[in-house]
Structure 1
């Protein structure tokens, strides 16, 4: 059993080295793999110590440790199951608005994650030419421009009509992405309604009946591991029937992203963001 834990620890350390060098020291929470390695090393050492000194160590200590570990594994499995349910999304064609979530912009250009999201947005816009894409992402301290501006430049360069784009440049987190994008959509709807009222179509009385505005359909486009959290935040922040559109993610960093997403979901649930 100790050998298994040591092998897991070595695997965690190797993966940490791989993702740090692969991502250029920019991947957040990469240190979590060193924490996993430390736990895998300490658990068999602790058990060995307990077996040798049973008479000195109260039983509640190993029971508590085992209970915490089992609970952590169970919670992780449940959350990861929910993460993967976001990938198996319902049909999201013919949406009125799609919120495209931003990702890191480097001095040398957009990141791999953001490129995958934008390529998916181009594909969706080609298949649904009436959609409005809400490009959501502010400018971080280490970013040369706002994520939304970089996204616009990439999409326009690749043939997307600029009139189909709305920029949301204030957000710095997924919660703000959704909240500010909802405001941008509401403002766009109000502008469209005002234009219709300023350019009325005159018809003879009795030849028409006024109907309520058609409910708008909104989706969120992001990386596969991120769809579930984005949808749940959308439901919490005023978009109850939000559709999910997923794109692929970096295969080398995919496992890390899934583990990191588990921590993000637990945090957002704890603070009431979802």
Structure 2
């Protein structure tokens, strides 16, 4: 082929067509984000090879800039994660979820150190470990970029059709019975959606979902219902699901209530922005007909929460994630050992 970069553009076009077909069918798929990421990679590869074909000296300068930028950017991101992790521990406590930014930042710095050592010392075992780490880090970075990018896109384009229910997912209560700011943000977004539907002539029901935790005095659903009625929502427009203890149960138990109250219903599921896309994925798996809407989250809390959601998505697709990870580790060891 006279212009080899055209094959990459063709591949990007084909992947884009598959993405558009799947996206029009159901927006709530993580695979959509992966397809969009692959399309982007093919476009970038084609552009880079095309640039090399016509302007090779410029390609070398761009390559050097990309390597330097990627290295500096990685160090900056690692430093940010470590700093944010320390703040999370001081502010929210030392739970595993709050440790994620710190652990991720340290892991990035260790990987950079391993790569630097492999470049400096001639050692087959060290080179194999560094190459395997590079392959696995590249895979996880690609998936994380797909997750972030598609989650943002999903929130921008998710359907806003008429609904019969506005479902609010619960979160932990403060002092056992008080709605904290994180949960209040969800309830305020739900109120706005409820009022918008009312203004359009609908009669939606606000369904609050959340059971009673071991450290809580009342079910989360009861505290949420009180919050809404205090702000003018009639009692008859609020339904409580007060048995669930996880997002999966929120959706399962809420689905059973909605099917009984209004067969053939549609709903919108309200949670925080960092959680919205995974909630949509889980809703699809649970057979709940509706999209997810996100409410704002404090900036300092967002990195930890987003990392937690990403890990949860990897677990949800654990067979694929573990299989690809294992293949890349083996390929990296072989490439590094024989390199």
- TM, length-normalised to structure 2: 0.66
Which protein is richer in helix relative to its size? 2
Q: Deviations over 1:109-144 (max 9, x none)?
A: 212111011111222222333111111111111222
1:263 to 311, 317, 320: 311
Distance 1:10 1:41 in 2: 9
TM-aligned CA deviation for residue 92 of structure 1: 2.5
Aligned equivalent of 1:12? 81
Distance 2:319 2:119 in 1: 40
1:231 to 276, 280, 283: 280
Local SS of the residue matching 1:57: helix
Distance 1:21 1:102 in 2: 24
Contact 1:89–1:243 under 8 Å retained in 2? no
Distance 1:26 1:117 in 2: 25
Aligned equivalent of 2:195? 126
- Structure 2 residue 78 is the aligned partner of structure 1 residue 30: no
Contact 2:166–2:194 under 8 Å retained in 1? no
TM-aligned CA deviation for residue 268 of structure 1: 2.3
1:75 to 116, 125, 143: 143
- Structure 2 residue 206 is the aligned partner of structure 1 residue 158: no
Report matched runs for 1:135-146 at 5 Å.
Answer: 135-146=208-219
TM-aligned CA deviation for residue 7 of structure 1: 4.4
1:50/1:128 CA distance change after superposition, 3 Å: closer
Contact 2:209–2:220 under 8 Å retained in 1? yes
Contact 2:118–2:126 under 8 Å retained in 1? no
Q: Deviations over 1:209-245 (max 9, x none)?
A: xxxx7x3222211112222221221121122x31333
TM-aligned CA deviation for residue 26 of structure 1: 7.2
- TM, length-normalised to structure 1: 0.80
Aligned equivalent of 1:195? none
1:101 to 169, 176, 179: 169
Contact 2:276–2:294 under 8 Å retained in 1? yes
Local SS of the residue matching 2:294: strand
Local SS of the residue matching 1:245: strand
TM-aligned CA deviation for residue 151 of structure 1: 0.2
Distance 1:150 1:51 in 2: 58
- Structure 2 residue 266 is the aligned partner of structure 1 residue 217: yes
Contact 2:82–2:106 under 8 Å retained in 1? no
Number of equivalent positions:
246
1:64 to 132, 145, 148: 132
Q: Deviations over 1:42-95 (max 9, x none)?
A: 223323432443145364322211111111111111122222233124452531
* Alignment gaps of 5+ in structure 1: 190-212
RMSD of the alignment, in Å?
2.5
Distance 2:307 2:135 in 1: 21
Distance 2:254 2:163 in 1: 15
Aligned equivalent of 1:115? 184
Local SS of the residue matching 1:262: helix
Distance 1:174 1:260 in 2: 14
Q: Deviations over 1:155-183 (max 9, x none)?
A: 01111111011111111111111110001
1:221/1:28 CA distance change after superposition, 3 Å: farther
Aligned equivalent of 2:40? none
